[in-house]
Copies of this chain bind each other. A is one copy, B any other.
């Protein structure tokens, strides 16, 4: 049963994320929409709130051996291995085109250490055409702790502080969901001066082939994304948005406009669309086109009014 529209006027989509204002709450997620410019001639990106680039590292990375993806029930595992052109080519070949895009552009940055991230930010501060940085804190440190290297509140806080001191742009901390206490990590990022936290990145998972007795991916494990993880992502966004004052950018399995609004309802100020782009490159734009009407149908005058509008019972958020 869909409720009767309570207003016909279109809802206000303006999305404020601390210092940054987006035209609407739909952002293309890192690694799922190329660098952001690939389809600019074919899809009207002015309909998007913004795009986050593929994660860029100091040096080019060839990425992991195939297979790099495998489908699972209502989800997919990927093991791309942070393939990217590296900072230099990003500056010379990608940024000039990205600077032309009719929506906000956030550079996703990955590093194995705080120093690598600092160097990336320092280099990109010399360039124009970016509205912010999203730090991919799931980037594994091969020598120390692998993918768990950044699951360390102190390190997160000091790294955010160091990056924040080097930029006038928005700083988003993209957190790994594979932690005991996502809220603790989010508070650390906030304490370090992040303007927003982004979650979730993919969940560690794997798939195996019985006939060949081997992993289906080129590496033993990969990251799970897609509708299968939406319940997990919603729970983390709900918990984290109750734990920090800075805005939360939510994502994980968004495929429909109702999925978008569910993330807003539990406390996300904006959302990112990832895997859905692989089904159809215009996924994000199509969702963005429908948000205003659906908000109105549900009786919300603006995106802002819906953010965190779900009731928060007393007591901790994690019941079971």
Contacts and interface: CB of A to CB of B under 8 A. Distances in A.
Contacts of A211: 1-3, 298
Interface centre among A78, A147, A221 (most CB of B within 10 A): A221
Given A148-B180, A215-B310, A208 B320 contact: no
Nearest to A312: B220
A151 interface: yes
A60 interface: no
Interface stretch (A69-77, A116-124, A190-198): A69-77
B298 A210 contact: yes
Main secondary structure of the interface of A (DSSP, over half): loop
Given A227-B73, A231-B207, A238 B221 contact: yes
Interface stretch (A5-13, A39-47, A261-269): A261-269
Interface in A171-192: 178-181
A225 to B, nearest CB: 11
A313 B65 CA distance: 14
Contacts of A243: none
A210 B258 contact: yes
A222 interface: yes
A75 B233 CA distance: 14
Interface string A286-320: 00000000000010000000000111110011111
B178 A319 contact: no
Given A73-B230, A238-B220, A261-B210, A147 B204 contact: no
A281 interface: no
A227 B205 CA distance: 12
A178 B266 CA distance: 20
B262 A78 contact: no
Contacts of A181: 148
Contact of A234 (B205, B214, B261): B205
A232 B203 contact: yes
Interface in A212-227: 213-215, 219-224, 227
A59 interface: no
A230 B74 CA distance: 11
A210 B320 CA distance: 22
28 contacts: A1-B211, A3-B211, A73-B253, A74-B228, A80-B320, A147-B318, A178-B180, A179-B179, A179-B180, A204-B235, A204-B320, A205-B231, A205-B232, A205-B234, A207-B231, A208-B234, A208-B262, A208-B266, A210-B261, A213-B265, A213-B309, A213-B311, A219-B313, A220-B313, A220-B318, A220-B319, A221-B235, A221-B318
Interface of A: 1-3, 64, 72-75, 77-81, 138, 140, 146-148, 151, 178-181, 202-208, 210-211, 213-215, 219-224, 227-232, 234-236, 238-239, 253, 258, 261-262, 265-266, 298, 309-313, 316-320
